[in-house]
Every structure is written in C-alpha cells, then in structure tokens.
Amino acid sequence: MGHAVLSQLQPKIVALGGSLDGGRATRLALDHVLAAATRAGADVEVLALAELDLPLYVHGQPPPAVAQRVTAAVRAADGLVWGSPLYHGSVSGAFKNAIDWLELLGRDDPPYLTDKVVALVAAAGGVQGLQAINAMEQMVRALRGITLPLVVPIERAHLAFATDGAAKEPQLAEQLARQGTELVRLAAKLRGGR
C-alpha cells in the first residue's frame, strides 16, 4: 500500500498541552494516550507548550509563525488530545493562551473544531483534576468540537508516574490507553462523515 494511501486511512491525532516548565505528569499522560493512538493506527503529533514559545494572543494582531504552525496542525487533525495541569481550579494560563490562538480557525469552513473529537487529560497536585477537565470541556464546546466521553483527571499527578514514565497504577495506564484507542475510533468515524 502506497504511503499516500496509507496516510489517507490513518486518522491524524494532535496532542496539545503540558506546561511551560515541561509539565512532566501532563506530558507523560499525553504520551501514554498517543502511544495507544499509534497502536490503534493513528498518525500522531505533539504540540508541547514548553517547546512552542507561543506569545500571548492579542485579537487582530498578525499571527506569528508558531501560531500558524499550531493552527495548521489542529486544522489537519481528525482528533485532538488536550492536557493541562490544574492551576487554581482551571487550566494553566499557557494552555488557555494556546486555545485562544485557535481563533485563527474561526473563518475556516467548517469553523474551529467542527467535527473534531477532543480527549481531555488533567494533572492535579491534589484530587481536583476534574476542575481543569470541566474548563477544557467548555472550551471544546465553545469551539464547536466534540468531547470524548472518557476523560482522565489524574489525582496527585506528581506520584502517578515512575521515573521511566510508566503509570504506577494499572488503572491509570488502562484509562489512558483506552482513551487513545477510543479517540482514534471516534475520529475515524467522524472523518468518514466528512
């Protein structure tokens, strides 16, 4: 099977997240989801906030090359996985800024995240990771996307992963893997309808 034909069959999954300090737990969680997505046949790409150096979004300002790169990757994606640490009851400012740059997709046809499924992961220092998930879910809805029903809020994320990156608890490893597999399955179904 030719490479062009194969790439047409593979759903494209883009991960966006982390934190400016590298967000080890968030990034490891995203990596686990993407590993499962790859095993399920997806082509994956990571947009790590620590590596992007995105300037603050200012409405009406010409977008820099890095913002154009982010929006081009999101535009090309069939599905997304978003990951943020929990900061004071919500997502990090860096994550929210990256989402604000998706305003550049507003004039697309269809606009924003229409017909794209988004998986959500949050890494909390305590037990309130669902607060960041809820904030991300509102953003997905505002951008006309579809949230994957299986979300993964990680409690005490600084303790969740071993030094080699493996999830310490089998249940967490299973949830992240299932999320990646389900993301690919639903993204492929939605792409079939386009």
Q: Domain tally for the chain?
A: 1
What amino acid occupies position 66?
A: V
pLDDT of 3 reads 42
Nearest residue to 17 via CA among 191, 144, 154: 154
Tokens linked to 181 = 């597999």
Q: What percent of the chain has pLDDT over 70?
A: 94
- Is the pLDDT assigned to residue 143 strictly greater than 50? yes
Give domain status of residue 139, yes or no.
yes
State the Cα–Cα distance between residues 135 and 133, nearest whole angstrom: 5
Tokens linked to 34 = 């993407």
Identify which has the larger pLDDT, 135 or 23: 135
Tokens linked to 143 = 């951008």
Q: What is the 3-state secondary structure (H, E, C) of the chain?
A: CCHHHHHHHCCEEEEEECCCCCCHHHHHHHHHHHHHHHHCCCEEEEEEHHHHCCCCCCCCCCCCHHHHHHHHHHHHCCEEEEEEECECCECCHHHHHHHHHHHHHCCCCCCCCCCCEEEEEEECCCCCCHHHHHHHHHHHHHCCCEECCCCEEECCHHHCECCCCCECCHHHHHHHHHHHHHHHHHHHHHHHCC
Domain enclosing residue 16, as ranges:
10-192
Strand-pair partners of 87: 90
Give domain status of residue 129, yes or no.
yes
Give domain status of residue 2, yes or no.
no
CA angle 170, 172, 177 (to 5 degrees): 95
Per residue in 71-102, pLDDT tens? 999 999 999 999 999 999 999 999 999 999 99
Give domain status of residue 5, yes or no.
no
Give domain status of residue 119, yes or no.
yes
CA atoms within 13 A on the CB side of 4: 0
Q: What is the CATH number of the domain that holds 116?
A: 3.40.50.360
Give domain status of residue 3, yes or no.
no
- Is the pLDDT assigned to residue 9 strictly greater than 80? no
pLDDT of 193 reads 54
